Every structure is written in structure tokens, then in C-alpha cells.
């Protein structure tokens, strides 16, 4: 069975429940030049690229600043590659002479420019920035997916089991969504600093909510589910 988006948390139960012998996972964007495939049936992996294949399929993980999400650069002004065990943004070198490595861009030229990083491996080069954070180990690359339910559980434990809802919000001028934690605190007793310290200890940087919304009332739907707009 081949597809994409199968979360590591349900991979094994899914295989056991339905008797699937082999799972293949695709990863990538239609317009991108950096796609991967996991054909090794390894839970959670999105693909594997041998080091010797770097010249034929030049993809890499770059270290990023945990606060800004921007690629980190060394003294020479070039980006820093991740080592095994490190998380980083997945990129693919742009080469207009090779169909697999080209990036034609979008109709919106500004949006296209936002997906391109320059002076990455050497001065004058360009790469397609997928915007996705992956982790490299000795077996392959793994996607860093964030389950809001897991983040909610951590937040709730840190604030004394108060109700909390975690969801994604759009930030103008950026791609994707940022995490927002809405916390029910009618007594106004929330200690933001303690919660922030706890989040740093309990969650990796990519899973921490960037915004906190304190509520005196927690909206509910008709069937008692939290409803945050």
C-alpha cells in the first residue's frame, strides 16, 4: 500500500488491524523539486537518500533558528547542513538544466521568491525551501508532524489541568500556520513564564505554540466539543 500522511502514532495499529504487509510513503510538493519516498516500510520515515547520490539528487536538511524559523548561516555566509540526529528544513538545489531539480515557481512571483533561498551551499546557488522540518537519522528522514491533541495534553498538565485548545492560525506574509493555545483562565491565575519554561522542556521547538490566547469563557459546540474561532 502506497500513500502519504500516515502518522507514526497509528502506523503500527493500522498495519496490524488491516493486515497490511508493506507501507510505502510519498513525501513532497507537486511544484517542488525535493520529493522523497519511503520504500523500506520503516515507521515514520518519509524517505532515504544515500550520501553517494547527492550529486544526482541534491537535497539536504539545513539548521534553522528555533525562534525565527530562518536557516542558520556560518561565518562564510552559507547555510549549515544538519548532522544525523538534528532537525532542519528540507531543501532541494535548483538546477534549471535538469527537470527533476528545477523549480518553475508560481503564477504569483512574490510567492515564488519566498520559496527560494540563495547562497546556500555556495555563493550564487539557489534552493527550493519546502518549509517542512525533517529529522535525519542513520536510516532515513522523518517528518516532524505536530498533533494538536498531544500539545493540548502537555499544555493542560502545565497549567493545572485547565481546559485548553490548540489549533493553527495563519500569519500574514508566511506560509503554513502557527500554533495557538487558547487557555480557559477565568480566575486570571495563569503564570505565562512557568508555562513557557515547561513547554521548552516538554516539547521540541517546532511543536511549541507561538501564540497564547487567554479566555474567560471557553466556547462549546452543541455536543460539548470546544469551539475556538
pLDDT digits (tens, 9 = 90+) for 68-110: 778 999 999 999 998 877 888 889 999 888 877 788 888 888 8
Whether 171 has a pLDDT exceeding 90, the answer reads no
Angstrom CA distances, 71 to 91, 154, 200, 216, stand at 11, 28, 20, 38
Q: Tell me the mean pLDDT in the region 23-44.
A: 80
What per-residue confidence (pLDDT) applies to 222? 43
**3-state SS class at 178:** strand
E strand spans, 70-218: 87-93, 116-118, 126-136, 141-143, 164-170, 177-184, 211-215
- Write out pLDDT tens, residues 127-147: 999 888 887 765 555 555 556
Residue 147: its pLDDT value, please?
62
Terminal-to-terminal C-alpha distance of the chain:
37
Query: Could you give the C-alpha distances from 52 to 55, 56, 84, 169, 173, in angstroms and in order?
Result: 7, 9, 16, 40, 37
Question: Residue 30: is its pLDDT beyond 70?
Answer: yes
C-alpha closest to that of 62 among 140, 139, 146, 135: 135
Least confident among 6-10, 99-103, 221-225: 221-225
pLDDT score at 164: 83
pLDDT of residue 197: 92
**φ and ψ at 9, to 5 degrees?**
-65, -30
**Which of 58, 174, 65 minimizes the C-alpha distance to 126?**
58
Whole-number Å distance between alpha carbons of 220 and 42 = 40
On whether the pTM is more than 0.85, the answer is no
Q: Determine what percent of the chain falls in helix, strand and coil, rounding each to the nearest 5.
A: 20, 30, 50
Q: Which domains does the chain have, with CATH numbers?
A: 2-143 (3.40.50.12780), 148-215 (3.30.300.30)
CB of 91 within 8 A of CB of 84?
no
Amino acid at each position: 500500500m502506497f500513500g502519504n500522511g500516515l502518522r507514526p502514532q497509528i502506523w503500527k495499529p493500522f498495519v496490524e488491524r488491516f493486515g497490511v504487509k508493506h507501507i510505502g510513503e510519498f513525501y513532497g510538493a507537486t511544484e517542488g523539486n525535493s520529493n522523497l519516498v519511503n520504500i523500506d516500510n520503516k515507521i515514520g520515515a518519509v524517505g532515504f537518500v544515500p550520501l553517494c547520490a547527492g550529486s544526482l539528487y541534491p537535497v539536504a536538511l539545513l539548521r534553522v533558528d528555533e525562534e525565527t524559523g530562518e536557516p542558520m548561516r556560518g561565518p562564510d555566509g552559507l547555510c549549515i547542513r544538519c548532522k544525523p540526529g538534528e532537525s532542519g528544513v528540507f531543501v532541494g538545489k535548483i538546477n534549471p538544466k535538469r527537470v527533476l531539480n528545477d523549480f518553475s515557481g508560481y503564477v504569483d512571483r512574490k510567492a515564488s521568491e519566498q520559496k527560494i533561498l540563495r547562497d546556500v551551499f555556495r555563493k550564487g546557488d539557489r534552493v527550493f525551501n519546502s518549509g517542512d522540518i525533517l529529522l535525519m537519522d542513520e536510516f532515513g528522514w522523518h517528518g516532524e508532524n505536530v498533533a494538536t491533541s498531544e500539545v493540548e495534553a502537555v499544555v493542560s498538565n502545565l497549567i493545572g489541568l485547565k481546559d485548553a485548545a490548540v489549533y493553527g492560525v495563519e500569519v500574514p506574509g508566511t506560509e503554513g500556520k502557527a500554533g495557538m493555545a487558547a487557555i480557559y483562565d477565568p480566575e486570571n491565575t495563569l503564570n505565562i513564564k512557568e508555562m513557557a519554561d515547561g513547554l521548552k522542556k516538554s516539547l521540541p521547538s517546532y511543536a511549541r505554540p507561538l501564540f497564547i490566547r487567554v479566555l474567560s469563557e471557553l466556547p462549546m459546540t452543541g455536543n460539548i466539543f470546544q469551539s475556538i474561532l
